[in-house]
Structure 1
Amino acid sequence: MVPGGCMVLSFLGRTSADPSTGECCYQWELLAEALTGMVSEGRVEEEKINSFNALYYAPSVEEVKVEVEQEGSFLINSLKAFEVEWDAGFSTDSANVSSRGRRVAKTIRAVVESMLESQFGRDIMDDLFVKYAELVDDYYSTTVPKYIDLVISLTRKGP
């Protein structure tokens, strides 16, 4: 990037100092629960779950700020955290036939399906994400889960 060039980045993060807080990780807990349910049905081997490790880290606003400042090539113009509902707040009226859980499941599936498929096989993917959607719908019955979206605007420092 040329000096004076600008960029805006948007990614999942957290507002809490705790990196294991539900605001950044609970969607993965529900996916693990769906997989574990398939173990009890005999569709997935427990050893495959135990050997599966998907790295994920959602930084806090402060962590992002510290890293950018330590790296030193950019000036931070703006750094904000926004709450976004897991399903982006789509209406759930009767004209909208897709459940919130199915909408969330489609999003998560787009992100992790290839990784899951290589570990657990293609034949369980549809059923896994149906289970996941049901768990998300159940979770929505007691709360309105939100992601934390971090948006940072940066300018490249001069030479």
Structure 2
Amino acid sequence: MPVLKQAVLSFCCTDLPETITIADLGCASGPNTFIAVSEIISIMYKKCCELGRSPPEFRVFFNDLPGNDFNTIFQSLPAFQEKLQQENGPKFGPFFTAGVPGSFYGRLFPSKTLHFVHSSSSLHWLSQVPPELVDKVNPVINKGKIFISRTSPAALIDSYLRSEEIAPKGRMVLTLRGRTTPDPTSDQSCLLWDYLGQAFQDLVAKGVVEVEMLDGYYSPYYEPCPEEIQAEVEKEGSFAVDRLEVVALPWDYVSGGINYDRALTAKEMAKVMRAVNESMIGSHFGAGIMDRLFHRFMEIMAADTMEVEHVSLVVSLIRNA
């Protein structure tokens, strides 16, 4: 059974409050914004009906950074609520929503108010570049690199263990990029970033990017391994790990699963990397380098034969009583 569905069903077998509060962290504002919340609410509603319980009210918080397009979310809410009503029947509801702009690396909600928290594809981004990497007096060995290959996983894990905000026995289901190897500098974590770094170096060689600008740029990104997550959750002590699964996909999945079409995969991967990095790169180097940078990324990746899997970690946590 998928991790999210099992977590929701298990939660429904506890003493449920009259109003269930759900938070989606890093919700974005695209076509996928409502998918997880829709699944969570529908499973809860149907399970309560199966158990002969009165369906609860639902209160949903959509969270992302202040620059997220919350207006698009709000404009889409009536259609989303109508869709939930059609799928679950006329007795479904009430259903209340709110947007919560702010970084999930700080407090966002009052104490013990959340019952179910979901986050996908956000938590591998750190809140900031570790200060030791940008110390101009004593710079570390990452000179010329753009990817933070080593950092303390505790900073990542502690930031999203929302122990103050989640009610006892509340749940969190988190999906984030990870790795299966203990070494954070392995190709599994670093290969795509190495391609991007090579593309930057080529622009430096051509005089498009100044070397000092490159030396001052880092991507605040870290992919933990399952053992790190398990250890940090246990050390922090507020949650128990219910399930921790590894999902590995081949690179070709970005091009529709076509079996090893390297050129097409490189083209699609360049689009993905650009979408993820464009705002950060643009704010540091300017938007004018973007086309040349990611075209060169595509060429470098297409010419290489190395391939690793995309690894995601799916973690289901239960708040201790």
Q: TM-score, normalised by structure 1?
A: 0.87
| Secondary structure in 2 matching 1:151 | strand
| Secondary structure in 1 matching 2:312 | strand
Q: Say yes or no: does 1:70 pair with 2:240.
A: no
Shift of 1:133: 1.5
| Secondary structure in 1 matching 2:230 | helix
Count of residue correspondences: 153
Shift of 1:55: 2.6
**1-structure distance, mates of 2:223, 2:316:** 18
Contact 1:82 1:150 in 2 (8 A): yes
Taking the TM superposition and a 5 Å limit, the aligned residue runs for 1:139-158 are 139=304, 142-158=305-321
Which structure shows the higher helix fraction?
1
**2-structure distance, mates of 1:28, 1:116:** 13
- Counterpart of 1:51, as a letter, is G
**2-structure distance, mates of 1:87, 1:55:** 26
Q: Alignment partner for residue 212 of structure 2, among 44, 47, 50?
A: 47
**2-structure distance, mates of 1:11, 1:88:** 17
**1-structure distance, mates of 2:228, 2:257:** 34
Contact 1:9 1:152 in 2 (8 A): yes
Shift of 1:87: 4.6
| Secondary structure in 1 matching 2:198 | helix
**2-structure distance, mates of 1:22, 1:37:** 21
Which aligned runs of 4 or more in structure 1 are off by greater than 6 angstroms?
none
Shift of 1:144: 3.1
Match of 1:91 in 2: 257
- Higher RCO (CA 8 Å, separation ≥ 6 residues): 1
| Secondary structure in 1 matching 2:207 | coil
Taking the TM superposition and a 5 Å limit, the aligned residue runs for 1:90-129 are 90-92=256-258, 99-129=264-294
Shift of 1:56: 2.2
Shift of 1:31: 0.2
| Secondary structure in 2 matching 1:18 | coil
Match of 1:80 in 2: 245
Deviations 1:86-142 (A, max 9, x none): 35252338xx9x821121111111111111112211111011111111222223xx2
- Counterpart of 2:257, as a letter, is S
| Secondary structure in 2 matching 1:2 | strand
Taking the TM superposition and a 5 Å limit, the aligned residue runs for 1:20-59 are 20-59=185-224
| Secondary structure in 2 matching 1:55 | coil
Deviations 1:12-66 (A, max 9, x none): 1111111111101111110000011111222111111112122322111111001
Q: Which 10-residue stretch deviates more, 83-92 or 18-27?
A: 83-92
| Secondary structure in 2 matching 1:5 | strand
Shift of 1:147: 2.0
| Structure 2: gaps spanning 5 or more residues | 1-165
- Counterpart of 1:79, as a letter, is L
Contact 1:87 1:103 in 2 (8 A): no
Query: What percent of counterpart residues are identical?
Result: 37
**1-structure distance, mates of 2:222, 2:242:** 24
- Counterpart of 1:92, as a letter, is I
Q: Which 10-residue stretch deviates more, 66-75 or 48-57?
A: 48-57
Contact 1:3 1:157 in 2 (8 A): yes
Q: Say yes or no: does 1:10 pair with 2:10.
A: no
- Counterpart of 1:86, as a letter, is W
**2-structure distance, mates of 1:88, 1:25:** 19
**1-structure distance, mates of 2:257, 2:228:** 34
